Chain A
Amino acid sequence: MGRFIIRRVLWLILVLFVVLLITFILMHLVPGGPWDREKALAPKVIEALNKRYGLDLPLWRQFVNYAWGVLHGDLGISYSYSDRTVVSILAHGIPKTATLGILAFVVAQAIGIPFGVAAALKQNSAVDYASVLFSTVFASIPGFVLGILLIVLFAVVLHWLPTSGWGSIQQLIMPVFCLAALPAAQSARITRASTLDVMRQDYVRTARSKGIMESTVRVRHIFRNSLIPVVTVAGPELANLITGSFIIENLFAIPGVGRLFVQGIFARDYTLIMGGVLFYAITIALLNLVVDILYAAIDPRIRYE
């Protein structure tokens, strides 16, 4: 296992390098640079700005300098937020986005898994239909539509919650719910399907034949096995949530990285984009690793060499 992790981390470094290189090339291929605006800057101003941010160097030098900086923990300076280092911008945004993402993930699983299990145990009952309907309906509404509907209802009409922003528990409720709706629905569906599948397995019949308590059968034999596919899907889901959603962060005015990253792309803020990609790729890779480890923890058939 230890060697497996080391190999994965080494591989991750290579992937990161390639991803950064491709991002770098792509960004410079794409039309429009950081200083292109409708109200054009004077050529001498652009020249001075390029000099200031090291964009006057040949591209390969820029990349080498950047990569060298990354190795030293320096992700450069943002162009669209003057003088702020990308590290400080990310350090500012990631905790918020990650908090939101982790909470949404926990809420999604806390809603989705029990619903899925209940639906499967009572297949074709009212509980089952209700959970299927609930999960499909929430999976069918775009996040921003759900978000504005919630804002109108809870903030404008009922005055129960603040519309937006960051800082209090109340401000977290609506964005967390909006983010959690789709994953909760997905989680419920997957849990239901896998629980139904496990319930049909021979070893469940074996367990029942031993005469042990039904609750033991459900927890020890059904639930644990039905969790395996849920974990597989939960990894990418968590990664997706932690890396942030532009739409939800923008709609609820949350100072997270999801919004920053998309704004950075539109602003051609190269260093911020690279920093965002780095964060994204590392998160995805690490969470995949965590999922693989968890996977092995749940399912003893899986061993990594």
Chain B
Amino acid sequence: MAPLLEVKNIRTYFHTQDGVVKAVDGVSYDVNRGETIALVGESGCGKTVSALSILRLVAEPAGKIISGEILFNGVDLLKLSDAEMHKMRGARISIIFQEPQTSLNPVLTIGRQISEGLEFHKNMSLHDGMLEATRLLKLVGIPHPERRVYEYPHQFSGGMRQRAMIAIAIACQPQLIIADEPTTVVDVTIQAQLLELIRNITKELDTALILITHNLGIVARYAKRVFVMYAGNIVEYGQALDVYHQPCHPYTAGLLASVPRLDEPRKNRLQPIEGQPPDLIAPPAGCAFQARCTYSLPQCSKEKPVLMQITPGHFAACWISQRGTKPWQK
């Protein structure tokens, strides 16, 4: 069976006063029906932009999808008309944004913001939409939904707002939900609750999920497959457990070292990755990670590595691991 979503070699560039920012520069991945994948990387690596590209919500006119294909159920989303795309958004593909503080309209009631999509996609009346919104709020675990549905975002706590965002995303029972760092700004206990909620709901509705996060630590628990992005490119992907236990890219290894691991006794200090991500306007000639890589080879600064299968189903774009070595592995 063909995957639900296939992103093929997508390039999304931003035109700024400083030059063209190649935020997403040839990224491919796919999602199967009901599957959860994770897109992992630091801030600014292009993961959010690649997700927005799917919905064609990249801020125009500065940002533009230059090339590539996004096949959803075999249909190229980039070729759809605006009207057809409107029918996709919210109805078939929806998104949960990372900032619940700012992602909800402060002057509309929560219920209204949930029912909006229902009114448009399911031709519901405002009244029915509000009833459905109440039900959805209950589903995402908000107490007293019949009252809360008439409240405004500022009356909700951060965690509750994100639950409301989830309710908005699942309102029309989409086939794919993109969760863009859904838990960054809430505290740890709520993070776990929210992720569980998302997992349960997607399971229940049989919805595919793209979980975008910088926290590789949580990925293994929720996602089946992981795609690691760096500087606008996918640098490694594979089964979540493979990537987690046997990273084939020094960047992935660095990400893992920078987050606490629940499965290992805490013996080492957490180690942030030194240095800054490269300039996306004028990326370095070779491997984008080369400047920050402790293990780099002379080849790394000259030739850009491409994704190669290291072990079955586990790909990486790294000259070092492609030579069969993993010096980061202890």
Contact = CB atoms under 8 A, between A and B. Distances in A.
Q: Do chains A and B touch in the complex (CB under 8 A)?
A: yes
B89 interface: yes
Interface in B140-196: 152, 154, 165, 168
Interface stretch (A78-86, A159-167, A201-209, A232-240): A201-209
Given A203-B104, A214-B86, A299-B107, 4 more contacts: A202-B102, A208-B89, A300-B152, A301-B106
B120 A300 contact: no
B154 A209 contact: no
A205 B57 CA distance: 7
B263 to A, nearest CB: 35
A206 B105 contact: yes
B105 A225 contact: yes
Among A205, A298, A301, which residue has the most Cβ atoms of chain B within 10 A? A205
Interface residues of B, number: 32
Nearest to B106: A301
Contact of A202 (B82, B86, B103, B108): B103
A211 B165 CA distance: 15
A40 interface: no
B172 to A, nearest CB: 8
A206 B104 contact: yes
Interface of A: 200-203, 205-214, 216, 220-221, 224-225, 298-301
B99 interface: yes
B8 interface: no
A201 to B, nearest CB: 6
Contact of A210 (B82, B90, B154): B90
Nearest to B92: A211
A212 to B, nearest CB: 5
A221 B104 CA distance: 10
A203 B152 CA distance: 13
B117 interface: yes
B97 interface: yes
Contact of A220 (B59, B90, B99, B108): B108
Given A202-B102, A213-B86, A301-B154, A207 B116 contact: yes
A206 B87 CA distance: 15
A212 B102 contact: no
A206 B97 contact: yes
Interface string B77-118: 000001001111111001101010011111110000100110
Contacts of B97: 202, 205-206, 209
B198 interface: no
Interface of B: 55, 57, 59, 82, 85-91, 94-95, 97, 99, 102-108, 113, 116-117, 119-121, 152, 154, 165, 168
Nearest to A204: B105
A200 B106 CA distance: 14
A225 B87 contact: no
Contact of A300 (B82, B90, B103, B107): B107
Nearest to A200: B59
Nearest to A302: B154
B205 to A, nearest CB: 17
Contacts of B116: 207, 210, 212, 216, 220
30 contacts: A202-B103, A203-B102, A203-B105, A205-B97, A206-B97, A206-B113, A209-B55, A209-B90, A210-B90, A210-B94, A211-B89, A211-B117, A211-B120, A211-B121, A212-B86, A212-B90, A212-B116, A212-B117, A212-B119, A212-B120, A213-B86, A214-B86, A220-B108, A224-B107, A225-B107, A298-B107, A299-B106, A300-B106, A300-B152, A301-B152
Contacts of A202: 97, 99, 102-103
A208 B103 CA distance: 11
A202 B161 CA distance: 14
- Identify the interface centre among B82, B95, B99, B103: most chain A CB within 10 Å of its CB: B103
Contacts of B107: 224-225, 298-300
A203 B85 CA distance: 19
A298 B105 CA distance: 12
A209 B95 contact: yes
